[in-house]
Structure 1
Amino acid sequence: MDQRISFVTLAVADVAASRSFYVDGLGWTPEIEAEGVLMIRVGEHVILSLWDRREFEEEVGRIASGGDGLAPFTLAHNVATRAEVDAVLELARSLGCEAPAAEERVWGGYTGYFADPDGVRWEIAYNPGPVGQTVLP
């Protein structure tokens, strides 16, 4: 098996609300739109798939209900400068997201977070190190 990820699929409560957030709000371009699913190219070979939660469960299996708290993962969007981190967080705030100020991290980066309509946390990161540079376009 090749060492790569092709799709990141999120089971969402309302595909229309997710579309409004990602396409109308963030300005991303859909690759595929169909009943219950929205697919957006987020990298040269990576698709973010936003899938109706009910249809997701029918195909994949029951989603655990964990109560309060965050989903146990984040999605990261790396940028080339600290100023870009601040700009993306400001865009998120303009869309109604809670997006606290970014912070300097002990590993040398600068990051902040916001959540999409389903509470999925996005990390907006400036990582000046070699690994951070490999993920930039």
Structure 2
Amino acid sequence: MKPRLNIVTLGVADLPRSRQFYQDALGWKPAKGSSDQIVFFHHGGIVLALYPMHLLAEDVGIPAERSGFSGVTLAINTKTREELEETHQKAIIAGAKSLVEPRDTFWGGYDSYFADPDGHTWEIAWAPFWEFDEQGSLIMEE
């Protein structure tokens, strides 16, 4: 099988609130197929979906209660340090909780972390050695 991640679904407590957060914080527009029951954001081959937490847990067959860090972070890669700082600030203004303010990293880049209104952890990262294709996707050699 050719490796391909197609959809990442986040369970959310309040779908309208989360939809608005991602629109306001990151400027993402809901994609075709979005409704009052699920929201899709298209990202050049990968789709981020928002779905009510209790329904997602029911579908998976596990309890909806969460406790602590899930061990998963999602990342947005920027082309400049300034874009990272602007994105972090917009997320905070839109209702995110800042976990780590923009900082220089041990690996030679610059990053920050925030939690969305449901506590999902996002990293915003920039590195001088990263390259992007025409669609803005990060180029990684196999």
**Residue 29 (structure 1) aligns with:** 29
Are the counterparts in 1 of residues 26 and 87 from structure 2 also a CA contact under 8 Å? Answer: no
Amino acid at match of 2:116: D
Q: CA deviation at 1:96?
A: 3.1
Deviates more, 1:58-67 or 1:109-118: 58-67
TM-score, structure 2 length as denominator? Answer: 0.83
Is contact 1:79–1:124 with CA below 8 Å preserved after alignment? yes
Q: Deviations along 1:59-84, whole A, 9 cap, x unmatched?
A: 222146453x3221110000111111
Q: Give % identity.
A: 37
- Equivalent residue, structure 2, for 1:90: 89
Distance, in Å, in 1 between the alignment partners of 2:13 and 2:104 is 33
Of 58-67 and 105-114, deviating more is 58-67
Structure 1 gaps of 5+ residues are none
Question: What RMSD in Å do the two structures reach over aligned CA positions?
Answer: 1.9
Q: Tell me the TM-score normalised to structure 1 length.
A: 0.86
CA-CA distance at 1:4 after TM superposition: 1.4
| Aligned partners of 2:113 and 2:122 also within 8 Å | yes
Q: Please list the CA deviations of residues 31-82 of structure 1 after superposition, one character each: whole Å capped at 9, or x if unmatched.
A: 132232111112x111001111122122222146453x32211100001111
- Mapping for residues 122-133 of structure 1, pairs under 5 Å: 122-129=122-129, 132-133=130-131
What's the secondary structure of 1:92's corresponding residue? helix
Equivalent residues of 1:36, 1:55 under 8 A apart: no
Which amino acid is 2:91 matched to? A
- Deviation of residue 110 (structure 1)? 0.2
1:34 match: secondary structure: coil
Uncovered stretches (5+) of structure 2, i.e. residues with no partner: 137-142
Consecutive aligned runs of 4 or more in structure 1 exceeding 6 Å deviation: none
Shift in alpha-carbon separation, 1:97–1:54, aligned structure 2, 3 A:
closer
Alignment-derived partner of residue 14 in structure 2 = 14
Letter matched to residue 108 of structure 1 = G
